[in-house]
Chains A and B, each alone.
Chain A
Amino acid sequence: MSLAPLLVAAPLVAALLCAAVARRAAAISALAATITLVVGAVVAFSSFGAPAEHALAGLMYVDALSGLIVLIVALVAAIAALYAVPYVRNAVGAHEIAPTEVRWFYVWIQLSIAAMFAVPLMNNLGLMWVAIETTTLTTALLVAFFRRGHSLEAAWKYLMLGAVGLGFALFGILLTYYAASHALGEAAAALDWAELRANAAALDPALMRVAFALVLIGFGTKAGLAPMHTWLPDAHGEAPTPVSVLLSGALLNCALYGVLRFHLLAAGTLGPSFSSDLLLGLGAISIAVAVPFVLVQHDLKRLLAYSSVEHMGIVALAVGIGGPLGLFAAAFHMFNHSLAKTTLFVAAGALGQRYGTLRLARMRGAFEVAPLPALGLVVGTIAITGAPPFAPFASEFGIAQAGFAGRPAALAAAVVLIAGSVLVFGGMLFHVLNVALRTAPRHLHVASFPFAAAFVCVPLVALLVMGIWLPPQLREAFSAVAAVLRVAP
Chain B
Amino acid sequence: MSVEGPLPGLMLTWQIDGMSLFFALVVLSISSVTTVYAIGYGRHHHGFPGSGLLYALFILAMLAVILAGDAFTFLLAWETMSLTSFGLVLTDHRRATVRQAAWAYLVMTHTATAFIVAAFLLFARTSGSLVFADWTAHAPALDPFVASIIFVLGLVGFGTKAGMIPLHVWLPRAHPVAPSHVSALMSGVMIKLGIYGIVRLSFDWLAPGPAWWGALILALGATSAVLGVLYALMEHDLKRLLAYHSVENIGIILLGIGVALVGRSLDLPGVIAVGLAAALFHVANHATFKALLFMGAGAIDAAVGTRDLERYGGLLRRMPITGACFLVGSAAISALPPLNGFASEWLTFQSLLTLGRVASEPQTALLPLFAGGALALTGALAVACFVKAFGISFLALPRSQHAAAAREAGALEVVAMGTLAAACVALGLGAVPVVSFIGQIVPSAGAPLAGPALGITGVGSGQLVVPGVAVALVALGALAVSLPRLFGRVRSRVAETWACGITLQPLHEYTATAFAKPIRLMFRDIVRPVRDVGIVHRVGTRFVASVDYRSHIAPVFERYVYVAIKDRLVAIAHVVRRAQNGSLQTYLAYVFAAVLTALLLAR
Please list the residues of chain A having a beta carbon within 8 angstroms of any beta carbon in chain B.
Answer: 156-157, 160-161, 164-165, 168, 209-210, 212-214, 216-217, 220-221, 227-228, 230-231, 233, 274, 278, 289, 291-293, 295-296, 324-325, 328-329, 332, 382, 387-389, 391, 393-395, 397-398, 400-401, 404-405, 414-415, 418-419, 421-423, 425-426, 429-430, 433-434, 437-439, 466-470, 475, 479
Q: Which of A216, A221, A228 has the most CB of B within 10 A?
A: A228
Interface contacts beyond A388-B78, A422-B114, A479-B8: sample of 6 additional A-B pairs, CB < 8 Å, sorted by A: A227-B590, A292-B576, A293-B580, A296-B570, A389-B76, A415-B118
B411: Cβ under 8 A from any A Cβ: no
Q: Once the chains bind, are A217 and B595 in contact (CB under 8 Å)?
A: yes
Q: Which residue of A lies closest to B566 (CB)?
A: A426
Q: Is the CB of B124 within 8 A of A401?
A: yes
A389-B79 contact given A165-B591, A228-B591, CB 8 Å threshold? yes
Within 8 A of A (CB), among B64-82: 72, 75-76, 78-80
Q: Determine which of A216, A398, A405, A438 lies in contact with B7 in the assembled complex, contact meaning CB atoms within 8 Å.
A: A398
With both beta carbons as reference points, the residue of chain B lying nearest to A328 in the complex is identified as B8
User: Complex formed: what's the CA distance from A228 to B597 in Å?
Assistant: 13
| Nearest CB of B to A318, in Å | 12
Q: Which residues on the A side are within 8 Å of B76 (C-beta)?
A: 388-389, 393, 467-468
B569 in contact with A423 (CB, 8 Å): yes
Given contacts A422-B114, A439-B94, contact A230 B587 (CB under 8 A): yes
Give the total number of A-B pairs whose CB atoms are below 8 A apart. 169
> Which residues from B are CB-within-8-Å of A295?
569-570, 573
Interface pair B577/A293, CB less than 8 Å apart? yes
CA distance A217 to B592 in the complex (A): 9
A292 to B142, CA, bound (A): 37
Binds A, one of B99-107, B454-462, B463-471: B99-107
Q: Which of B549-601 contact A (CB under 8 A)?
A: 569-570, 572-574, 576-577, 580, 584, 586-588, 590-591, 593-595, 598-599, 601
Q: Which residues of A contact B94 (CB under 8 A)?
A: 437-439
> CB distance B78 to A468 under 8 Å?
no
CB closest chain-B residue, reference A289: B576
Contact A228 B114 (CB under 8 A): no
**By the criterion CB–CB under 8 Å, are A164 and B591 in contact?**
yes
Whether B114 pairs with A213 at a CB distance below 8 angstroms is no
Is B122 in contact with chain A by the CB < 8 A criterion?
yes
Are B114's CB and A421's CB within 8 A?
yes
Q: Does B83 contact A (CB under 8 A)?
A: yes
Residues of B within 8 A of A433 (CB): 99, 102-103
How far, in whole Å, are A472 and B125 apart by their CA atoms in the complex? 27
For B112, the closest partner residue in chain A by CB is A422
Q: Does B12 contact A (CB under 8 A)?
A: yes
Q: Indicate if the CB atoms of B595 and A168 lie closer than 8 Å.
A: yes
Of listed A228, A397, A470, residue having the most chain B CB within 10 A: A397
Indicate if B361 sits at the interface (CB-CB under 8 A).
no
Given known A-B contacts A328-B7, A329-B7, A404-B121, A292 and B114 have beta carbons under 8 A apart: no
Q: How far is the CA of A161 from the CA of B584 in the complex (A)?
A: 8
| Tally of contact residues, B, Cβ under 8 A | 58
Q: A404-B125, A418-B118, A429-B107 are in contact. Are A278 and B590 (CB under 8 A)?
A: no
CB atoms of B591 and A217 under 8 A apart = yes
Contact of A214 among B12, B572, B576, B598 (CB under 8 A): B598
- In the bound complex, residues from chain A placing their C-beta under 8 Å from that of B593 are 227
Task: Say whether B602 faces chain A, with CB atoms less than 8 Å apart.
Answer: yes
Residues of B within 8 A of A382 (CB): 83
Q: Lowest 5 CB-CB distances: which A-B pairs, in order?
A: A292-B573, A213-B598, A388-B79, A404-B121, A213-B602
Q: In the complex, A175→B79 CA distance in Å? A: 49
Are B602 and A325 in contact (CB-based, < 8 A)? Answer: no
Interface string of B113-137 (1 = CB under 8 A from A): 1100110011011001010000000
Is B280 an interface position by the 8 A CB rule?
no
Nearest neighbor of B50 in chain A, beta-carbon distance: A375
Interface pair A164/B588, CB less than 8 Å apart = yes
Give chain B residues whose Cβ lies under 8 Å from the Cβ of A233.
Answer: 580
Assess A401 versus B594: contact at CB under 8 Å? Given A388-B78, A389-B80. no
Q: Are B590 and A429 in contact (CB under 8 A)?
A: no
Judge whether B3 is part of the interface by a CB distance below 8 angstroms: yes
List A contacts of B78 (CB < 8 A): 388
Cβ of B9 under 8 Å from chain A: yes
Instruction: List residues of chain A with CB within 8 A of the CB of B128.
Output: 405
From B74, which residue of chain A is reached at the shortest CB distance?
A388
Chain B residue at minimum C-beta to C-beta distance from A379? B83
Task: Tell me the bound Cα distance from A338 to B75 in angstroms.
Answer: 24
| Complex contact A212–B117 (CB within 8 A) | no
Contact present for A400 and B121 (CB under 8 Å) = yes
Once the chains bind, are A228 and B594 in contact (CB under 8 Å)? yes
B178 CB to closest chain A CB (Å) equals 16
Mark interface residues in B473-505 (1 if CB within 8 Å of A CB, else 0): 000000000000000000000000000000000
A399 to B: closest C-beta gap in Å: 10
| A394-B8 Cα distance, complex, nearest whole Å | 11
| Chain B window 47-89, contacts with chain A (Cβ cutoff 8 Å), 1 for yes, 0 for no | 0000000000000000000000000100110111001000000
Quote the shortest CB–CB distance from B587 to chain A (angstroms): 4
Q: Output the least CB separation between B71 and chain A (Å).
A: 9
Contact A388 B580 (CB under 8 A): no
Question: Bound state CA distance, A359 and B354, in angstroms?
Answer: 63
Which residues from A are CB-within-8-Å of B573?
291-293, 295-296
A11 CA to B290 CA in the complex, in Å? 64
Residue B6 interfacial (CB < 8 Å): yes
**Chain B residues with Cβ under 8 A from A210's Cβ?**
599, 602
Could you jot down 8 A-B contacts, CB within 8 Å?
Answer: A164-B588, A214-B599, A325-B9, A332-B6, A388-B113, A404-B122, A433-B103, A466-B6
